[in-house]
Structures are given as C-alpha cells and as structure tokens.
Amino acid sequence: MKSEILINFGGFVPLSTVDWRGRSVCTIFFRGCPVRCWYCQNKDIQTGTDMRSVESIIGMIQDAQLLISGVVFSGGEATMQQEPLLYLAKKCNSMGLLTGLHTNGVFPDTISLLIKNRCIDHIALDIKARWETYTNRLGVDCVNEVKRSLSICQNAAKEGNLPEFEVVITLFAGYDDELPSIIRDIADTSTLVLQQGVYPGLTVLSEEDLMDIADRLKRPVHIRTRKGGEIAYAGNRNRRSSGKRER
C-alpha cells in the first residue's frame, strides 16, 4: 500500500484577489526554497518543517470552494515538492478548480510534468536578474534551470498546452538599466509584468516610474503596484489602457 503523500506546509490563504489577475482564489504556500532572494517577502518559510497530509490541504480547499474559482500554489518554492504539488493540482482540477503556480523556475522538470499532465492553467515565472548575475544574486547556480523553465513555458503557451503564462520582474530603483538584458529571451507573446519592489530603506518606484521604464522597452506590459493594483499598459501614457484596474 502506497504511503500517505505529505507536503512541507507553509501556509494557506482561503481567499485572495491579488494572486491571480481577475480571479478569486485560495493560495497554498509550500515551505522550503533553494534560493535566497534578498527582498523575499516570505523568508519565514524558506526553511523549516511542517509536514501535513495532502488530504488535510484538500480539506482546506473544500472549505473555501464556494468563494473561489481557482487555487494558486506558491512558496517558498512549490515545484521543490514535486509529488504533493502534482497530486494537489490534479485533485483541484477534478474538483472543477483552475490551478495557478508562482515559481522561480529552479525545478523545470516539475513544471514540465504539470504541463504534460494538463493540470496547470496559469504560471507566473519570476525572473530575478540578468543571466550573467543570477548566481551571485540568488546564492545558487540555477541559471540553466531557469532558462529551461522559461523555454518550457513559452513553448507550451505557444502550442496551446499552457492557457496563461506571464513573466514577473520585480523592480527596485537603480536596477531598471538591467531590463533590456533581462527581457531579451522573453517572447513578445508572453505577458510581461513589471512589479513594484518594496523593501525597508529603499526608494519605492511609483506607478509613474514604472510607466517611464516600460516606455523604454517599447512593448506592452502589465504594471503592478501595492497601491494601484495592476494595470495593462501599452506604452506612452496617452495610449494607456482604458483605466480599468485589475486587483
């Protein structure tokens, strides 16, 4: 008899309107992450152990089901725990729920399995820095894995096997000069999100600052800030999208 599947559990939000654009979802946080981003908002679940049965997590999802249309897997790094992630994604699909993933791309084989099993509907891939500086910034040599994850997701989206795919870049003042290099491998067909970085002691880029940066990229982007939520921005403020904000 197969042993019970366990998840190293990091937390649960029963209702979120910010983790998947345009949807009300619940969010499951997986504990553990191999990288150490200095601006991480979830440092308390980068390490440690809190083992739970996947069935107990399914119970949490069922309790929230009347209020949601999907489930987001986040972390930590959810793809680090391949077996429980794959099990939960399949189970959520069987419950009629859409599934989303927030990932740093360090485990491309897990991403590939989710897509192959057609149990993932949305992937948000965080690109942290220029490829040349990845190892120094993250403290682990993972650039080839992240490049592979980007390729897997872009190909799957192009072939219709991944309904929604976006690349998220978190920006801080003084780092915007790296953007042209960061986005060189990101297809024009992929949704590019410029996200406002927030960290104690650092100047926070405003929505207007992010628009100025986006104008230099000469491609449509989504701009995400804590105060303003998310907007679609086509470049040149006079051609900004209708003004409807997404939260």
Is residue 159 in a domain?
Answer: yes
Q: How many folded domains does the chain comprise?
A: 1
Is residue 1 in a domain?
Answer: no
pLDDT band at 111; cut points 50, 70, 90: very high
Is residue 48 in a domain?
Answer: yes
pLDDT tens for residues 55-106? 999 999 999 999 999 999 999 999 999 999 999 999 999 999 999 999 999 9
Q: pTM higher than 0.75, yes or no? A: yes
Is residue 47 in a domain?
Answer: yes
Residue type, 220: P
Beta strand pairing status for 229-233 and 98-103?
Answer: unpaired
Is residue 233 in a domain?
Answer: yes
Q: Residues 156-167: what's their mean pLDDT? A: 97
Residue among 231, 224, 185, 222 nearest 205 (CA): 224
pLDDT surpasses 80 at 196: yes
Is residue 115 in a domain?
Answer: yes
* SS3 call for 151: helix
* SS3 call for 218: coil
Q: Which residue has the higher pLDDT, 242 or 13?
A: 13
CATH number of the domain enclosing 39:
3.20.20.70
Q: Report the C-alpha gap between 214 and 119 in whole angstroms.
A: 33
Yes or no: say if 241 and 233 are a contact pair by the CB < 8 Å rule.
yes
66: which 2 tokens?
Answer: 């009347």
What is the pLDDT, as a whole number, of residue 2? 58
Beta strand pairing status for 229-233 and 221-225?
Answer: antiparallel
Average of per-residue pLDDT values in the chain: 92
Note down the domain range covering 111. 6-239
pLDDT tens for residues 44-56? 999 999 999 999 9
Is residue 245 in a domain?
Answer: no
* SS3 call for 34: coil
